[in-house]
């Protein structure tokens, strides 16, 4: 499973998630933070898809954004 997104594709996907899911990105990021302690990208995506019935692309974008923000906090 690729973790790479073009910046434009990623931003477009994030902008559609609230409309498609009824929840804001910040809410989804909090959900990932409070979810099970999974380490691998694909495990987090699979958990979001199974637990919250998200489309693959939406789950992948949420986890990618979560990882980007987590990495930014470490610096």
pLDDT digits (tens, 9 = 90+) for 10-61: 999 999 999 999 999 999 999 999 999 999 999 999 999 999 999 999 999 9
Range of the domain at 49: 1-72
Look at residue 75 in the predicted model and tell me its pLDDT. 59
- Helix (H/G/I), strand (E/B), else coil: 48: helix
Contacts of 58 (CB under 8 A, 6+ apart): 13, 16, 17, 20, 21
1 confidence band (pLDDT: 50, 70, 90): very low
The total number of structural domains that make up the chain? 1
Higher-pLDDT residue of 1, 20: 20
CB 64 within 8 A of CB 10: yes
């Amino acid at each position: 499973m690729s973790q790479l997104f073009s910046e434009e594709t990623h931003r477009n996907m994030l902008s559609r998630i609230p409309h498609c899911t009824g929840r804001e990105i910040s809410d989804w990021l909090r959900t990932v933070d409070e979810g099970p302690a999974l380490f691998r990208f694909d495990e987090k995506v699979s958990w979001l898809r199974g637990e919250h019935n998200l489309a693959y692309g939406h789950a992948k974008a949420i986890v990618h954004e979560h990882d980007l923000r987590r990495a930014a906090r470490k610096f």
